[in-house]
Structure 1
Amino acid sequence: MTFTLWYSTYSFLFRLLPSFHILLFEMTTYHDYPSPDYFPNYLHNSRIMEYLRRYAQHFDLTKHIRFLVDSMRKRSDFSCTDILVETTGKQESYVFDGIMVCSSLYTGPILPLQNFPGINRFKGQYIHSCEYRSPEKFQGKKIIVVGIGNSGADLAIELSHVASQVYLSTRRGAWIWNRVWDNGMPMDTVLFTHFKTILNKFYPTFLINRWAENKLNARFNHDVYGLLPKHRYVLATCGDDLPNHIISGRVLIKSDVREFTETSAIFGDGTEEDVDVVIFATGYTSSFPFLENNATVLDSQHSMFKFVFPPQLEKPTLAFIGILQPVGATIPTSELQSDFRGIAKVFCCKTYVKLTFTVSEIVPVQYVEYMDEIASEIGAKPNLPSIFLWDPKLAVEIFFGPCTPYQYRLAILTQRERIIKPLRTRTLICDQPPSSVPFWLKSACAALLLFALTLIIIKG
C-alpha cells in the first residue's frame, strides 16, 4: 500500500503580513525538531519559512515533495486515487492508495464587495489583505483597514508608521489579547497548560469570561478605546501595540463602512473621512480546486471524524489535515492528526465504519484538549500517574508547564530555558526568573492529581 502527504508548507501563513508574529514558536514547532534556541519566541514569517526548510533538509524530505497538484481523481472502484502534478513545467501522474490533503483550512480570500455600496465608483485603491506585502508604497496615504482580526490589527499597526492616517473599521469590536503575559512570559506558555485546562472545566463559563475581560480591561478600557465587543472574550485578537497606536492617534477606530464615495468612506455613525486606500482584512474561505466534486468533499455539516475523515466516501482513502481552528498552534495539531499510525490504521480498514462519526462544525477547538484527544487515539499521550512514580519532576512539568509538542515525546525538561534564552540579551548578576506557580503548589496539586487518577483507575 502506498501513501502520500501533500503539504502546502503552510503557504497561507506567508500570504499574510510580513510582520506575522501571532503564535509562540516554541509551541508551534514539530515535536521531533525543536527550533534553534536563538530564534525569538514570536517569529517573523521569514523565520518560520527558514525553520520549515531546515526541517525538510534535516529529514531529507525535499526529494519526496512534488509541487503544484493539478488534479486528483478516484478510481471507479474507489480503491485508490490518480494524482496529476506539475513539476518544473512538466506534468506527471501518480497513483496512491491513500491521500492526505494538507492545504490548510483557509486558502482563498473573501472579498465581499457587495456589502460595501459605492466601492465600484471609489477612485482610490482597494485590495484584500492577502495582496499586502510591505508598507513602503503606502507612504503618506490615508488608509482604511476593514476588519479587526489578527491580520487587520497587524496591518493597521504596521501601516500607521508610514501612513498619514489609518482608520480601523470594525462592526463588532474585539477583545485585544497580549502576546506578552504575566512576568513578561509568552501568553501561550501561561494559558495553554494541562493544569489550566482542568481548571477551566471546573470553573463556570461566566466566571472565566469575567476574569479574562477584567484582566484585558485592566490594561486598557475597551469601551473607552472604542473596541468593546458584544461577544464574550473567547473571540479575541492579538495586538499588543494596538492601544499604543490608538492613544497616540496613529490609528482611529471607526464603525462599519456604510458606503463609499469617489474619494471617501461614510461610516455607520454618519461620519465621513477622505481615504486613498482600502484594505479588506475580511478573512479567507476553504477551497480544494484540485479535488473532483470540490463542493461535496466537505458536507454542509462538516461531520468529519476528528476533523480528519469525511464520512461520505465509499472507502477511507482521503484524509484532511489542518481543517480545524485550534485555539493555539496549527502545526502541532496537524502533526498529530497526520501521525502515520493513526492515518494508516483507518486507510487500511476494509470497511468504513460511519457510526463512529459525529457532527462537528468547524468552530474553534480547545488546543490542549484536542491535542490530548488525538494523542490518546494514537497512543502518544503521556501517562501522568506512571510518569509521576518514576520521574516526579517530569510529571510536574507536563502538568503545569506549557503544552508544547515535545510533551508527546517527553523531551520537555529544557523547554523553559529555551523560551527564556532569546530574551536574555543582557547578562545580569541575579537573573533568576520568577515562577508563575510556586513549587509547593505544583507539588501539592501533582500529588492530588496522582491520588485522583489512582482512584479512577482502581474504580475502573
Structure 2
Amino acid sequence: MKQEDFCDWATVGVAGLIGAKVFSEMINVIAYDRTKANQSYHTLNEMIEDATPAMKRVAIIGSGISGIQAMKSCLAEGIEPVCFEADRDVGGFWRFKDNEDGFSVYKSTHIDTERDMNSFGDNPMSPSQPLLISNQELFQYLKSNCDKFSLWSKIRFNTKVTCVTVKDKQATEHHKWIVKWALMDPDTQEIQEEGEEIFDGVLVCTGRHGHGGWIPPFPGLKDFKKPYVHSSKYKYPEKHNLQGKTVLVVGVGNSGIDIVTEVAQSAGKTILLARSGSWIFKVKHGEETFSEVLLDRFTTNLILKLPWWVASALVEKTRLKKSQTVLNKHGLEPQHRAFQQHLLVSGLSDPDHTLHDELEKGNIVVKKGISKFTSDGVVFTGEAEATEVDFVIFATGFKQAASFVDPDIVDFRYDRVGNDVPLYKYIFPMHENQYSSLGFINFLQSATFMCAELQTRYFAQVLKGERVLPPIETQREELLAVRNTLCAQYMDRQQLRVQAGLTMKYYDDLARQIGCYPSLKALLKERPTAIWHAWFTPWQPLQYRLVGYGRLENSEEAIEQLYESRFYGTCPRTGKQRTGAKNRAGFIGFIATSTTISLIGGLLFWYWLKGASMGDDIQDKLQENLEYASSDSVPHAMEFGADAQDVTILKAETTETAQFTINLIC
C-alpha cells in the first residue's frame, strides 16, 4: 500500500470515528431533551404537596409494609388516610416481638430477596444499606418512611378494628363504609373506648400474616401435653429453653428451613417433618449471592415466556443439581418439579449452618409424616411406636383472613373452607354491587413492597374514578383463569393457592392498569435515557416510577446508585470491594450472558413453533399448563374454594382445627 493510500484510509477511519461520536452525542442530546421535556415531580413529597384534595377519607387497617405504603398512595392522590393500628408501633408482622404472645418474625429473620426489591419505589433504601436486610433494619426503614412523609399523625395506635361493613347494601355505587373500632389498653388489652366512623373507602392492610399462623388439624393434637407454637410465635432457642431438648419442626418452607437449622445448634435432637421432600438451594451469604449474578428484567421476561416445566428443568439440572443430591440422600427427595413449589434457600444469613450441612453432620433427622400425636410424643408415618418430643414448632404457613369484614361482602373468615382469595386483581371483592372502594392489600404470596405500592396506587385511582373496573362476570372469568393457570402448575397445598404475586407478569399487568408500565414505546416517547434502567438492571419497584402516571424524576439516579453499590460498591458487612456480576464482567461474562440469552431464545423459538403462548398475561399459559397437569402425577387444586387434598384427609380423621385467632363477625 502506497503511503498516500494509507493516509487516505486513515483519514476516512478518523472521520468515521468522529462521525460516530457526533452521531452518538446527537442521540444522547435528543434523548436527554425528550426526557427533560416530559419531566414530572422529582420526589413523592412534591407530588403529595401538589395533590388536589379528593374530598375522600379512607380507613387503612394496619401499619405494616402495606399500611405505610397505602397512606403514601392516598396522600399522593389527595385522599385523607386514617390508619388503625392494633399494636403500639408500626411494622406489623415484621416488627420483632420478644413476648411469646405476639405474632412476629423470629429474631434471626432476614428477607430472602435482595435490598433493591425490598423497598418502596417512591422511597428506595439507601445504597449504603447491606443487600441482605434483617428484620431490625426493615423496621427502621419503615419508621423512616413515617418520618419522611409525616405519617405518624395519621395513625391511631392500640386501636383494633372490630367490624367493616357497607352503610347501604342496596347501593351499587359510591359506597360508604362503617368502621367499628375499639381502643385497647396496650398492657392489659382491655377495651377502653369503642366507636364507629363513616369512610369513603377501606384498605385492609393486615396482609397474609395478619391473623397468625395456620396449624393443620393433626389427629391427637388436642391430647398433646407438651408445649408447641406456630413459627409466628417462635422467637429464638433460648427463649423457649430448647437447649438439649428433642424438638420437632413441622414444615420445610423458608421459615421451617431457617428455624430447624437454628434449633439444631443447641437442641439435643432435632427432627424435621417434610412430607413431600423439597428443592432447596444451598447458597452463599446474601451479600455475595445478590452481588454475584445479574438477572435483569429483559432476561427475566424471556424466561417467563418459556413453559414453566422447561424453565424448571434448566434450574434443576444446573444450579440445584449438586445441593439437591445431599437432600435426596437424607430423605428430602421431592416427588414434584422445582417450579411446583416456592423456591427455597438455605445459607443466606448463616452460610456456615445450612440445612444441607446439618443433615450431613447428623444434627437433623427427617421424617415423612405424622400418623398421630400422643400425650408426650408423635407416631410418625410408617412407625409403630411413638417418639417422645419435648417441643413442636409448626412452620406450616398462614391463611389469608380478615374476620372483621362483613362476610356478606367477601368471606375472609379464618375458618372458611380452603385458602382461595376471591378478589379481582387480588384487591377488590367480586360482588354484584361492585364494592370497588374496599381493597385488600398483599392478600397473596408476593413481592411485598412492590405489591403494596402497585396495589394501593391502583386502588387510589379506582376510588377517585380515574379507573373503572370491568363487569363482575369479566372479573370472575379473569380470576379463575389466573388462579387455574397457577394451580395447574403448583402442587395442591393450602399455601400454594395464591401464587400470582410471585411472577413479574402480575405487576406488569397492574402497571398497565395504572399507566406506569415501562414499555419500550413509553420509554422512547417519554424517557429514552431510562431504557437501560428499565430493562437491563434487576427487576425492582423503582422501574414502575420511570414513566407514565406517578413518574418520579429521582428514580433514574436511584437505580444507578443502587446498581453501583450492589455490584461495585463496598460491602457494609465485610468491607470487601465488589467487582461486578460474574455473568457480566469481562470476556467470560460476555460469553456467559450471550450463551444464556441465545439458549433461552432458541428454546422460545422452538416452543413457539410448537404452539406455546408468548403472551404477557399469566392466564395466557392456561391451556398449556392444563395439558401438562393432565399427565402429571402431582395433585393439583383445580376446585375453587376447596380445601387442599391433604387437609381434607386430616379433617376426616379429626374435627380439631388449631388456630390462633378469634373471629369477629359483624
TM-score by length of 2: 0.60
Alpha-carbon distance in structure 1 between the residues aligned to 2:368 and 2:161: 42
1:295 CA displacement: 8.3
For the 8 Å contact 1:12–1:104, the answer to whether it is kept is: no
Task: List per-residue Cα deviations over 1:241-272 (Å, max 9, x = no partner).
Answer: 21122112222222112223344323213275
Tell me: CA distance 1:321–1:229, structure 2 relative to 1, closer, same or farther (3 Å): same
Alpha-carbon distance in structure 2 between the residues aligned to 1:427 and 1:334: 33
List aligned pairs for 1:321-332, cutoff 5 A: 321-326=441-446, 329-332=447-450
Letter in 1 for 2:232: C
Letter in 2 for 1:195: T
- The structure that is strand-richer by fraction is 1
Letter in 1 for 2:438: L
Q: Within the alignment, does 1:102 sit opposite 2:198 as a pair?
A: no
Q: Within the alignment, does 1:239 sit opposite 2:352 as a pair?
A: no
List aligned pairs for 1:333-372, cutoff 5 A: 333-339=451-457, 342-346=459-463, 348=465, 353-357=471-475, 358-360=478-480, 361=483, 362-365=497-500, 366-372=502-508
Name the residue aligned to 1:287: 401
Partner residue of 2:364 out of 251, 259, 263: 251
1:212 CA displacement: 1.3
Alpha-carbon distance in structure 1 between the residues aligned to 2:433 and 2:195: 26
1:192 CA displacement: 6.5
Q: Within the alignment, does 1:309 sit opposite 2:428 as a pair?
A: yes
For the 8 Å contact 1:342–1:378, the answer to whether it is kept is: no
Task: List per-residue Cα deviations over 1:220-249 (Å, max 9, x = no partner).
Answer: 413213212111112132323211221122
1:120 CA displacement: 3.9
Alpha-carbon distance in structure 2 between the residues aligned to 1:275 and 1:325: 32
Tell me: CA distance 1:24–1:182, structure 2 relative to 1, closer, same or farther (3 Å): closer
Alpha-carbon distance in structure 2 between the residues aligned to 1:121 and 1:160: 26
Partner residue of 2:518 out of 372, 382, 394: 382
Larger deviation, residues 346-355 vs 140-149: 346-355
Tell me: CA distance 1:254–1:393, structure 2 relative to 1, closer, same or farther (3 Å): farther
Q: Percent identity?
A: 25
Q: Within the alignment, does 1:166 sit opposite 2:265 as a pair?
A: no
For the 8 Å contact 2:295–2:537, the answer to whether it is kept is: no
Task: List per-residue Cα deviations over 1:28-49 (Å, max 9, x = no partner).
Answer: 1111112233332222212211
Letter in 1 for 2:392: V
Name the residue aligned to 2:313: 210
Matched residue of 1:55: which SS?
Answer: helix
Letter in 1 for 2:176: C
Alpha-carbon distance in structure 2 between the residues aligned to 1:103 and 1:189: 34
Alpha-carbon distance in structure 1 between the residues aligned to 2:429 and 2:129: 38
For the 8 Å contact 1:145–1:168, the answer to whether it is kept is: yes
TM-score by length of 1: 0.84
1:355 CA displacement: 4.0
Alpha-carbon distance in structure 2 between the residues aligned to 1:27 and 1:20: 17
Matched residue of 1:186: which SS?
Answer: helix
For the 8 Å contact 1:192–1:368, the answer to whether it is kept is: no
For the 8 Å contact 1:123–1:263, the answer to whether it is kept is: yes
Number of residue pairs the alignment of both structures matches: 439
Tell me: CA distance 1:427–1:282, structure 2 relative to 1, closer, same or farther (3 Å): closer
For the 8 Å contact 2:250–2:395, the answer to whether it is kept is: yes
Tell me: CA distance 1:190–1:20, structure 2 relative to 1, closer, same or farther (3 Å): farther
Larger deviation, residues 181-190 vs 302-311: 181-190
Q: Structure 2: which 5+ runs fail to align? A: 1-54, 66-91, 96-103, 185-191, 348-353, 484-496, 547-554, 602-666
Name the residue aligned to 2:561: 414
Tell me: CA distance 1:43–1:351, structure 2 relative to 1, closer, same or farther (3 Å): closer
Letter in 2 for 1:228: E
Larger deviation, residues 260-269 vs 123-132: 260-269
Larger deviation, residues 76-85 vs 343-352: 343-352
1:81 CA displacement: 0.5
Alpha-carbon distance in structure 1 between the residues aligned to 2:563 and 2:260: 33
Alpha-carbon distance in structure 1 between the residues aligned to 2:580 and 2:291: 16
Task: List per-residue Cα deviations over 1:191-211 (Å, max 9, x = no partner).
Answer: 57332222331x343331211
Name the residue aligned to 2:57: 3
Letter in 1 for 2:346: G
Alpha-carbon distance in structure 2 between the residues aligned to 1:295 and 1:312: 7
Alpha-carbon distance in structure 2 between the residues aligned to 1:400 and 1:369: 17
Alpha-carbon distance in structure 2 between the residues aligned to 1:90 and 1:81: 20
Letter in 2 for 1:378: I
Q: Structure 1: which 5+ runs fail to align? A: 450-460
For the 8 Å contact 2:127–2:561, the answer to whether it is kept is: no
Matched residue of 2:108: which SS?
Answer: coil
1:423 CA displacement: 2.2
Alpha-carbon distance in structure 1 between the residues aligned to 2:360 and 2:194: 55
For the 8 Å contact 1:39–1:422, the answer to whether it is kept is: no
